[in-house]
Amino acid sequence: MAVPIRTTVAALCAGLMATLFTTVPAQAGQREHVWAVSEAAHAPRARISLDDTTGKLSLSVSRDGRTVLEPSPVGIVTEQADLSQGLRFLHRKDRQVNERYRTTSGKRLDRKVRMQETRLSFAGADGARVDLVVRASADGVAYRYVLPAGHGDVLGEASAFNLPADAGAWLSTYRVDNEGQFAQYTAATAPTGAYSEQALFSTPGGYALLAESDLTGSYSGAQLAHTQGTGSYRIQLADQRVHTDGALATTWRAMVTGDLATVTRSTFTDDLAPSAKVADRSWIKPGTVLWTWLAGGKEAGQSLAAQKAYVDYAAERGWPYEAVDAGWYYKPGEWDITDPDWQTNSWMPELVEYARAKGVGIVVWIHQRDLDTPEERAQWLPTLERWGVKGVKIDFMNSEAQSMLQWYDIILPETAAHHLMVDFHGSTIPKGIQRTWPQVMTLEGVGGEEKRTNTAAHLTTLPFTRNVIGSMDFTPGAFQRVGLRPNSDAAEVGLTVAYESGLQMFAGTPASYDERPLARAYFDQVPAAWDDTRLLAGAPGQEAVVARRSGNRWFIGGVYAGAARTAEVPVNLGPGRWLVQTIQDGAEGLVQDSRVLRNGDTLSADIVANGGFAALACPWRPGVTTCYR
């Protein structure tokens, strides 16, 4: 009887997996145990090794036999035990993680997860226990420590990432608000110091982006400590002592890896995070936002008349939200919150009702210090919900210490309970939070449009670093900031697509949009949630061309650093012919061009120095002359 091909392939795959997940037995003279974890033959392969002499663990990552991560120390130290050495192997357990989930925002709404998980259990010299849980998928490797109750507070990790010394490195100096600029080095030549964990490296086995996932108040945030001359980047926790009560599963130490297109498209850090804790998500609606801070500053925030004018403009354009930033609950020199009649005296309910009648939702800024006690949250959150406010932009957390992460653990369910979407500023970066708490539409954690020192190289690095981790509130579109931003007008249009954000805040003034009707018309089309994302061309620090699909239309954003050039971008959007309408910089301002291209053709675009372009593509057939609706 003939054996079906499908059965044969399945048997071969099962045999391959059995080979990959076999523990190398200890033999005479052998001084280590070795375990390998991989999801498929050509996927990243994690190799965990226990030195039987020292009892130290290390982990390395390769792809198709080529190094991604060199053997790197693994271990954790608690009050009760040093679990970074003196370990002996107890047992292992394997399972496959298969999940499907849907997000409310992000680079791809529908997600499919397939990971291989290996759990290795060890005992320390004094009998203390620790489990090392390792997961591997097609686009990443991650591990975490699991400790039983009674281990005491965590004093630190031995965890480090050892990269090849000559690996290309794109690093951001660590700041508590995660707003440092990215600069390029090699792994060894980067100056001694602390760096954000969202660090990108180019290795013989592909690109590798370091990250975290499932970071909560049970643990502490991390930064990378580096000494110049080595390729080692050590995990340094924000707290010298992480307080624990009972069993503990630490954050995932993650590495997104593959070619640049794979890294850019990856949802690995979301995939590692717990499932959504919000059952009814019908009220969570991503969208574009007219943001008034760079357009009018605090003075606009103190004026009901000014805010109504912004609402009128958003309604005219069909933009679904308007954001009222700092100033709306200020009195000159003091906080309105000190006034017992502040809720009665506020003009916000009038603005919300005015906006609602015009089909515009209101998002309001609020300082974290006004939400840091139960009494303040009980005062603010129900009131904002009663007024009809759609979302809150919470600012100035400026910490990844355990105490602040515990505050996040409180504010997240409370904002969900009051049907308030959230934009965190002065914050941590997403780290899986958007899967677990889908009302979190975006987070800052980036050197964004407000900065006066950004470089074009920084702008072209963000799609491969910070924005890989999750939604990024860069606030593009500030055309009025000529001389304060490093890019061209066409590049500024392109940023609205190159950078993903569930609430995409347009930072320009109405006058600046009216002076650029092509940009304004493009903004009218841009959605804030996507069905798919593809990298069409890219090199960190040099260029990034990202295509995002909504329905049957592809939006394309290209940003460049360096001299003027003619860009040649492959149109890999799907079979058939495509009508592609581009916006580029011209001698007299923005210009538009339309052409019909077959899939696989090259799109040429004239790029000015530190410039870019935007495009909208839709399926072409006879009679189709525009992709705009």
Q: What is the pLDDT of residues 1-40, one digit of tens each?
A: 333 433 333 433 433 443 344 444 444 445 779 999 999 9
Bridge partners for 533 per DSSP: 548
- From 179, 395, 423, 585, the catalytic residue: 395
Bridge partners for 222 per DSSP: 237
Residue 285 tokens read as 């609606």
Which three-class secondary structure state does DSSP give residue 70?
A: strand
pLDDT over 70 (residue 463): yes
Give the pLDDT confidence score for residue 241 in this predicted structure: 98
Q: Kindly list the structural domains of the chain, giving each domain's residue range(s) and its CATH number in brackets, ordered by start.
A: 23-272 (2.70.98.10), 287-528 (3.20.20.70)
pLDDT over 60 (residue 629): yes
∠ CA 508-514-518, rounded to 5°: 95
Q: Which of 355, 540, 391, 559 is nearest to 476 (CA)?
A: 559
Beta strands in 39-128 (DSSP E): 45-51, 57-63, 66-74, 76-78, 82-83, 88-102, 110-123
pLDDT in tens, 147-197: 999 999 999 999 999 999 999 999 999 999 999 999 999 999 999 999 999
pLDDT over 70 (residue 137): yes
pLDDT in tens, 239-256: 999 999 999 999 999 999
Longest dimension (CA), the chain: 87
Residue 450 to residue 477: CA distance in whole angstroms: 11
Residue 286 to residue 533: CA distance in whole angstroms: 17
∠ CA 553-558-564, rounded to 5°: 145
Residue 562 near residue 596, CB atoms below 8 Å: no
Higher pLDDT, 153 or 333: 153
Give the pLDDT confidence score for residue 327 in this predicted structure: 84
Q: Which of 219, 72, 50, 60 is nearest to 120 (CA)?
A: 50
- From 450, 531, 532, 593, the catalytic residue: 450
pTM listed for this prediction? 0.93
Share of the chain above pLDDT 90, in %: 89
Identity of the residue numbered 161: F
Helix-then-strand count for the chain, H and E: 15, 38
**Helical H segments across 346-432, by residue range:** 348-357, 374-387, 402-417
Share of the chain above pLDDT 70, in %: 93
Residue 546 to residue 607: CA distance in whole angstroms: 16
pLDDT in tens, 476-516: 999 999 999 999 999 999 999 999 999 999 999 999 999 99
Angle between helices 402-417 and 374-387 (to 10 degrees): 30
* Mode of pairing for the β-strands spanning 421-424 and 440-443: parallel
Give the pLDDT confidence score for residue 343 in this predicted structure: 59
Q: In this structure, what are the phi and psi dihedrals at residue 371, rounded to the nearest 5 degrees?
A: -130, 20
Residue 425 to residue 176: CA distance in whole angstroms: 11
Instruction: Please state the rounded mean pLDDT for residues 261-279.
Output: 98
Give the pLDDT confidence score for residue 7 in this predicted structure: 37
Give the pLDDT confidence score for residue 32 in this predicted structure: 76
Residue 611 to residue 588: CA distance in whole angstroms: 15
Give the pLDDT confidence score for residue 25 in this predicted structure: 44
Give the pLDDT confidence score for residue 30 in this predicted structure: 56
Give the pLDDT confidence score for residue 623 in this predicted structure: 95
Instruction: Please state the rounded mean pLDDT for residues 43-70.
Output: 97
Residue 335 to residue 355: CA distance in whole angstroms: 25
Residue 554 to residue 464: CA distance in whole angstroms: 20
Residue 508 to residue 167: CA distance in whole angstroms: 39
Establish whether 395 is a catalytic residue.
yes
Identity of the residue numbered 533: T
Give the pLDDT confidence score for residue 337 in this predicted structure: 53
Residue 105 tokens read as 């925002």
Residue 499 to residue 387: CA distance in whole angstroms: 31
CA-to-CA dists, residue 206 to 105, 257, 427, angstroms: 28, 7, 30
Identity of the residue numbered 230: T
Q: Which of 454, 453, 465, 455 is nearest to 429 (CA)?
A: 465
Give the pLDDT confidence score for residue 10 in this predicted structure: 41
Give the pLDDT confidence score for residue 18 in this predicted structure: 36
Residue 421 to residue 440: CA distance in whole angstroms: 6
Phi-psi region of 432 (alpha: psi -120 to 50; beta: other; left: phi over 0): left
Reported as type and span, the H/E element at residue 590 is strand 589-598
Give the pLDDT confidence score for residue 338 in this predicted structure: 54
Indicate the average pLDDT of the chain: 93
pLDDT over 60 (residue 599): yes
Give the pLDDT confidence score for residue 2 in this predicted structure: 39
